[in-house]
Amino acid sequence: MHKIKYIIFIFFLLLPLASFAQVDFNIDSLINEPSDEADINLNSLKLAWVAETYAPYEYKGRTLPTQGSKVTVDAILDISGGSLNDLKYSWFLDDIFQESKSGYDRNSFQFGIRRTNGSSHTVMVKIFNESRSFMVERTIEIPIVQPEAIICFSNNGSYSSDRKNETADVFSNKKSAFIAKPYFFDIEKLSDLTFEWKFANQSPVISSAYSANVLDLVIEGKEDQKILENNLSLKVTNKLNSRQSDYQSTLVKIH
């Protein structure tokens, strides 16, 4: 009877030891098991930016940022072997981490221009997955310009585009037309600007109407053949931000 009890005791004593050894083996297998996270391969990555400033409708170039305007930067990413939804974006403006604008699915970054004409802002993005087995970064420099207005002289009813007229030849007793083309002001429409035209010693013409950027000029009373010269000046100011302004002038030759 004592022998039977002894054998039963040994059996239950050994059972937990065998079970523990089995559990330990399974844990070791899990540690060495390959990760389920898919390998991500980078095919291409570029940063594209756009400035929210004004330009004439016929302007074919890039609108440039000025102090006070906004810029949006997009990270255009092409990967294979993974999902874009698993990637995290960390944005930096002039080496300062932008925590509130970073995170998953934050591939677009917007900020306001703080610096002045002639300087620039540097934007950097770091893109990675949770385990950081995939990580890339790109940096872009965004130049800052001064808003300007170009005075163009009508040539048979059409205006030269993107080119300032330093001089204009007009004829007495005939109507001549000038147009101001504003570039890169932080506005949405022309009526957000004030145009101040002044010719020779005449009183200035100041307006913010939709046609205020056009000036019709008629010279009367000239009888001799001598060519007269007078200055046509223009000041353009952003009504929403008075720090944004430009001054231009054109020499008018009267025949």
- Scored b (16 or more CB within 10 A) or e, 104-142 reads eebbebebebeeeeeeebebbbbbbbeeeebeeebebeb
Position 72 in a domain: yes
> Tens digit of pLDDT for each residue in 113-145?
999 999 999 999 999 999 999 999 999 999 999
Q: Are 180 and 110 within one domain?
A: no
User: For position 225, what pLDDT does the model report?
Assistant: 82
Question: pTM for the complete prediction?
Answer: 0.77
- Contact between 102 and 125 under an 8 Å Cβ cutoff? The reply is no
Residue 49's beta-bridge partner residues?
A: 73
> Tens digit of pLDDT for each residue in 68-114?
999 999 999 999 988 999 999 999 999 999 999 999 999 999 999 99
Per the structure, the count of domains in the chain is: 2
Q: Are 65 and 86 within one domain?
A: yes
> Tens digit of pLDDT for each residue in 9-25?
333 333 443 333 333 43
Question: At which of 81, 111, 143 does a domain end?
Answer: 143
Position 249 in a domain: yes
Q: Are 64 and 93 within one domain?
A: yes
Q: Are 159 and 211 within one domain?
A: yes
- Domain carrying residue 200: 148-254
Q: Are 45 and 139 within one domain?
A: yes
| pLDDT tops 50 at residue 41 | yes
> Tens digit of pLDDT for each residue in 196-255?
999 998 999 999 998 999 999 988 877 778 888 999 999 999 999 999 999 999 999 988
| pLDDT tops 60 at residue 158 | no
Question: At which of 85, 113, 143 does a domain end?
Answer: 143
SS3 11: helix
How would residue 43 be classed by pLDDT, with cut points 50, 70 and 90? very high
Position 15 in a domain: no
Q: Are 246 and 161 within one domain?
A: yes
- Contact between 73 and 124 under an 8 Å Cβ cutoff? The reply is no
Q: Are 114 and 45 within one domain?
A: yes
Question: At which of 143, 173, 193 does a domain end?
Answer: 143
| pLDDT tops 90 at residue 157 | no
Position 172 in a domain: yes
| Spatial CB neighbours of 63, under 8 Å, sequence gap ≥ 6 | 50, 51, 52, 53, 54, 55, 184
Total Cβ atoms within 10 A of residue 199: 19
Q: Are 103 and 72 within one domain?
A: yes
Position 229 in a domain: yes
Q: What is the 3-state secondary structure (H, E, C) of 35-84?
A: CCCCCCEEEEEEEEEEECCCCCCCCCCCCCCCCCCEEEEEEEEEEECCCH
CATH of the domain at 109: 2.60.40.10
User: For position 183, what pLDDT does the model report?
Assistant: 97
